[in-house]
Amino acid sequence: MSTIALDMQDDQFGKSQKIVIVEDNVSLADIYKTRLELLGYKCFTAYDGIAALNIIEHELPDLVLLDLMVPKIAGDQILETMRKSAWGRSIPVFIISNLNESDAPVGLREMGIEGYAVKANLSNNQLDQLVDNILKPADQTEDVVLETKDSQDGEEGTISLGTHQ
């Protein structure tokens, strides 16, 4: 069992950084939200694509954690809509999906994502770490690679984040 240290993540204006979690599995979205709020982030959840776009446009978050397979509007279409709009063009997006990246819609990286992870290979601690690496990258100058191990079949993998300067 792991513990979470409380660390208020304030941006340059003294407000908590905002994260929109787009995930149709309510229980999983609640786990992500609870963990990230304990780290000091202000989180919003959307369980379908229409709600996601409305929340993202209204809140203009510092990060979107995006599932690809959500109802009403798929995750890749959410990302495409964001990138074509003035309000969503520069919002960092990290994909967390049950699809392997090779099975995901083509062109996600070209639309500008921070990284990609398969849910089954992502531990809660790794989620915390990748969010911190994206939102607090001041001293980071090279790629971050998180090693994963699937506890059921022993399969290993990696989660990569892009370079931040």
pLDDT of 3-52, one tens digit each? Answer: 333 444 444 445 689 999 999 999 999 999 999 999 999 999 999 999 99
CATH number of the domain bearing residue 89: 3.40.50.2300
Q: Is residue 4 situated within a structural domain?
A: no
What is the domain count for the chain? 1
Q: Is residue 138 situated within a structural domain?
A: yes
CA angle in degrees (0–180, nearest 5) for 60-79-85 = 55
* Mean pLDDT estimate for the chain: 84
Q: Is 144 helix (H, G, I), strand (E, B) or coil?
A: strand
Q: Which domain holds residue 62?
A: 18-161
Q: Is residue 1 situated within a structural domain?
A: no
Look at residue 2 and tell me whether its pLDDT is greater than 50. no
Q: Is residue 141 situated within a structural domain?
A: yes
Amino acid identity for residue 81 in this structure: T
The C-alpha atoms of residue 47 and residue 70 are separated, in whole angstroms, by 7
Q: Is residue 70 situated within a structural domain?
A: yes
Encoded tokens for 63: 């990060």
Q: Is residue 10 situated within a structural domain?
A: no
Q: Is residue 32 situated within a structural domain?
A: yes
Q: Residue 62: what are its φ and ψ, rounded to 5°?
A: -80, -15
Global pTM value: 0.79
CA angle in degrees (0–180, nearest 5) for 22-137-129 = 55
Amino acid identity for residue 89 in this structure: R
Instruction: List the beta strands (DSSP E) in 2-141.
Output: 18-22, 42-46, 63-66, 93-97, 115-118
Averaged pLDDT, 130-141: 76
Q: Is residue 125 situated within a structural domain?
A: yes
Start-end of H helices in the chain: 26-38, 49-59, 75-84, 124-135
Encoded tokens for 110: 């070209």
